[in-house]
């Protein structure tokens, strides 16, 4: 079995600048991905970080952790935070809603995704690193 290769492991402050920090980190590594993988990865990670900022309950010194690994099966990404009042779930959104499409995008782009709860809430996804 081939062990996973860690591509990114970051902790960002729960600040409005967090999504931009993630986009910059992916942009710096864009040549390590095939086709439009960097763009898809940046989109999913920034959507999930934005959800963390919106829904998680942060205490002083809390952070958002972001990790991406390349495995034989494809790319795996995680965004973890302290959690909120509810578990992230895909909900049907009406066209007149202003927001709430982060998990809709994850569901549309990722091969599969899910949520792990415990000490921290982690939303993970997987997709192919191909054109």
State the CB neighbour count (10 A cutoff) for residue 7: 19
d(CA 25, CA 3): 23
Which CATH entry fits the domain spanning 5-127: 1.10.40.60, 3.90.1150.10, 3.30.565.10, 3.40.50.10580? 3.30.565.10
Q: What are the residue boundaries of the structural domains of the chain, listed by start? A: 5-127
Predicted confidence at residue 131, as pLDDT, reads 45
d(CA 52, CA 81): 6
Provide the residue-wise pLDDT of the chain in tens; the chain has 131 residues: 777 888 999 999 999 999 999 999 999 998 888 888 999 999 999 999 999 999 999 999 999 999 999 988 889 999 999 998 777 776 666 555 555 577 888 999 999 999 999 899 999 999 887 64
Q: Taking the model in full, what pTM does it have? A: 0.89
């Amino acid at each position: 079995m081939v062990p996973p290769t860690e591509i990114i492991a970051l902790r960002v402050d729960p600040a409005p600048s967090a999504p931009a920090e993630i986009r910059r980190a992916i942009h710096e590594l864009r040549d390590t991905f095939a086709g439009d993988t960097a763009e898809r990865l940046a989109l999913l990670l920034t959507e999930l970080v934005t959800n963390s900022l919106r829904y998680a309950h942060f205490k002083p010194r809390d952070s958002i952790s972001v990790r991406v690994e390349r495995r034989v099966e494809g790319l795996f990404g995680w965004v973890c935070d302290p959690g909120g009042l509810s578990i992230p779930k895909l909900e049907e959104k009406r066209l007149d809603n202003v927001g709430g499409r982060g998990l809709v995008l994850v569901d549309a782009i990722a091969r599969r995704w899910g949520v792990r709860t415990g000490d921290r809430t982690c939303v993970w996804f997987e997709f192919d690193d191909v054109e």
